[in-house]
Structure 1
């Protein structure tokens, strides 16, 4: 028996002031870009739009740009992440719930101290300060 590959999405979501949207989950430490798994029968873009809506009440105001596909070997030996960049608008503030403890928009030079190293690496990739790595 063989197990299939798992696939997820993460998104660098920027508002009209150039701030990035981050979330702090209830079940894992640190601040992350919104994202989640691509479900059976769902496309990467469908998963992206679902996750940003669920995790931040965000809607896209630009066409999402696929930045890179990363191998997330910290999770398993078959997990990949589709990483998108897009501009968004928040339809309502996101209230804390069972999954999201906190969320908000942050200036790139004023990220929360607990922003994960993976999030910081992806932002360095986007800014051109580092070449994209193939590993999340």
Structure 2
């Protein structure tokens, strides 16, 4: 097989990275973007030369106006999109935020309408199904102290929606 043929078969996925932050009650920090009709978590696309962890840290800083330490990887999700193509999404553990960290949050003007802590049982009502599955799987992975691999927000073998 010629090199060009081999490269033509290789995936060139877009990568995105985000972080899960929690409050003392186990609620998850979610953001309401101005450009989406559903709630999301802090994060965004990985830029050229940037690692997923660096991207998540940068996006948190840009979106929330604070620098927060990110911990270990919670989940990797293979989630191709009909419009955007192949996508790999990384979720990192932002841990439990201290009250002073929460009061320091300054949502990015023009990009975020709101920032709110949401109970895990309310996540599916606020966002799209595969993101809700990804967040809930990452919460479980955090509790089990073991990262998880997902496809469309579900462990392989589960019924995809």
TM-score band w.r.t. shorter chain: 0.7 to 0.9
Q: Which runs of no fewer than 5 residues in structure 1 stay unpaired?
A: none
Structure 2, unaligned runs of 5 or more = 142-147, 154-161
Q: Which has the higher helix share?
A: 2
1:70 and 2:80 matched: no
TM-score (norm: length of structure 1): 0.77
- The aligned residue for residue 112 of structure 2 is 100
Deviations for 1:58-85, whole angstroms, at most 9, x for unmatched residues? 4435x52212221221253322111222
Larger Rg: 2
Asked if structure 1 preserves the Cα contact closer than 8 Å seen for 2:53 and 2:92, the reply is no
Give 1:135's aligned residue. Answer: 152
Larger relative contact order (Cα-Cα within 8 Å, sequence gap ≥ 6): 1
Aligned-pair Cα RMSD in Å: 2.9
Which residue pairs with 1:13 in the alignment? 21
Q: In the TM superposition, what whole-angstrom CA distance separates every residue of 1:83-122 from its partner, at most 9, and x where no partner exists?
A: 2222143362424621111112223345584333233212
CA separation of 1:55/1:128 partners in 2, compared to 1, >3 Å: closer, same or farther?
A: same
Give the TM-score taking structure 2 as reference length. 0.67
More strand by share: 1
